[in-house]
Structure 1
Amino acid sequence: MGSHRKPNPPSRARMAVLTTAMAGTAALASTVSAHAEPAPSPDAVKARVDALNEEAEASIEKYNGFKEKQQQLRTGADRIQERVADGQTRLNELRTELGVLAGEQYRNGGVDPAVQLMFSSSPDSYLTQASMQGQVATSQTELLKQLQGEQRRLDQDRTEAAASLAQLEVTDAALAAEKKGIQNKLAQAQALLNKLSAADRAKVNAQEAAARASRVSGRSEPAPAYQGPVTGRAAEALKFAYAQLGKPYVWGATGPSGFDCSGLTGAAWKAAGVSLPRVSQAQWNAGRRIARADLQPGDLVYFYADLHHVGIYIGDGKMIHAPRTGKNVEILPIDSMDGPVMGGTRH
C-alpha cells in the first residue's frame, strides 16, 4: 500500500516568498489596470481647456480691476505723503519762528506765556485759556493759530496716509491671489494639452485653425484696414482695432505688442481721443447703453452675465476682439461666442 502521510506544512521562509510574490502580482495587476484606463479624447481635452481659459479670462478682468485700483491707491498715497512732508516743513518753520520770538523775549527779560504753546502738549487748551486771559498779543495769536491749524492738517493727512497704505496692502494681496489663480488655470490647461499625443495635439490645433478660418468671413486673411461707412472718432477706433489683427492675446496687456479684451477696446478708443476705464465692466458703465439691434460700427459689445468679455463691433454682425490666452486678435461673428450678447455701449 502506498503511504498516505499528510504533506509537511510550508516553512516560514517559503511562506514569505509566496506572500511577496502575491503582493507583487497584485501590484502589477493594479499597475496594468491603471495603465489600461482610457486616455481622455482630444474633444474632451479641448472642451476642458476652453472652459479653463474662459474661467481664466473672467479672472483676468478681476485682476485688471485690482491692478487699476492698486495704481490709483499708490498715486493717492504718494500725493498724501507729499502733503505730509510739506505740512511737516511748514510746521517746522512756524516752530522756528516761535523759537526766534522766544529768544527775543528772553533777552528782553522773560518769555511771554503765549510762546510756551510751542512746548505745550495741548495747544488747543492752552490757546483757549491764554486768549481768555488776554495774555496773547495779536501777532502771537495769529502765529499760534497757524501752528494749531497746521498741526491739525498734518495729523489728518497722516491718518489718511495710514488708511490709504492699509487699503493698498489689501489690494496688493488680492492682486497677487488673482494672478496666482490665473496662472494655475492656464497651467492646468497646458498640462491637459501636454497629456495628448502629438497626433491628438495636432488634431486639436487643426480644429482651432478651422474654427478660426470659418469665423473670419471665409477669408484666410482679414481686411488690412477699416473700409466702412462710419467717420469721426468711431472710424479712428476701428482703424486702430483693424491694425491689431493677428497680435497675440496677452492677459493684463494694453498693447502695443499684445492685448487682452478690454485692453484692446480701451486702446482703440484711446487712439480716437476717448479715455475708457481699464476693465470691461467699468467700460460698460462709461458709455451710453445700446441694445443689440442698434449696434453700429465702433460700438463696444459685451458678453456673459458678468460682462467679463468685450469686443469692438465692426458691422454685419461681427466684431474684432482679443479672445483668450493662446489666440490672436481676430474678427468673428458675435453669435459665435459661448456666452450671450448682453448689449453694447457707444462712446
Structure 2
Amino acid sequence: MESFIGQGIALVTPFTKEREVDFPALKKLLDHTKDAEYWVVNGTTAESATLTKNEKKQVLEFVKQNNPTNKPIMFGNGSNNTAEVIENFKEFDLSGVDAILSVCPYYVKPSQQGIIAHYTAIADASPLPVLLYNVPGRTGVNMNVDTIVELSKHKNIFGVKDASADLTQAMRVISATPDNFLYISGDDAMTVPIISIGGSGVITVLGNVVPQEFGSTVQQALNGNSKQATMQMSQLLDYTDALFEEGNPVGVKTALEIAGICNKTVRLPLMEGSELLQSKMSVMYDQIKISSKKSMFVSNFDARHAI
C-alpha cells in the first residue's frame, strides 16, 4: 500500500456558525492540502462522533467529487459495536475509496483477544484494505505488540496508525511485522523519530494547517535526512503542542480560522478555542510562515526528489 506512505491529512469537518457542514470551506481545505499524499475522511479529527450518517455520506461524496488528481482516500469506519462497523460497509458508497481506517473499540475496554476478534471480523467483511488505529489516550485500551503482530497476518490488514507515542512499542511492532506492513504515526510530534526506525509516515492533524511545511518535514525524514527533518520539526513543535492544548479538533479549527480556511466552530460537547489560544496561535503561525519564506523548510518537490 505505497499510496499511504508519507503525509495523510486527517481532514476536519468545517461547520458554519449554525453548526451545519460548510461545504465551501471544505473545498478550500481540500485545495489547501492538495499536495499531501492522501486524505483521511471521517476520522476522529472530523468530529465523526457528532456527524449524522447522512452527513458522513455527504462529506465523503463531496471529497470524492473534488479530487481531480485522484488522490488516495481513506475512510474512517470504526465503533465499539463490531456489527455496526460491518453494517456500514453496506450503507456507504465506497467507490473511489482506497482503504478503511478503523479505530480500536473505545469505552468498553475489550481484552486483547476481543480486539483481535473485532478486527478480524471487520477485515473479513471489508471490501477494502483495513488500517488499524491504536489511540489509547482516547479509547482507554492499548493494542499491545502481540495483538498488532497477530493482526498483521490478516491478508486484508495492511498497517497500523499508532498514537500511543511509545517508541519502544513502535520498534517491537516494526521489527516483528512483515516489511510491507505500514507503521504510521498518529502523533505529529513523534513522526520524525518513528520514521527513523522504519515508520511509513503520519496521519496528521497539523497538516491541515501547514501541509507544505509539515509535508516537507515528513519527506526529509523518509529520505533519510533525519537532521534536516529534526531541524524543521523543531520549528513546529510549540505550534503542535498548542493545537492540542484545548482538545482536538478545537485547536486545529482555531488555527484554520487564522489561516482563512474555515471558522473555528465545533459541535458540543466541544467548545470553540479561546481568544487566548487564538492569539497565541496567530503569532506562532506567522513565525512558521516567516521561517518558511527564509527557506528553513525545503520545498515539497525538492524533499520528495532529494537523492
Give TM-score, length-normalised by structure 1.
0.21
- Indicate the structure with greater helix content: 1
Give TM-score, length-normalised by structure 2.
0.23
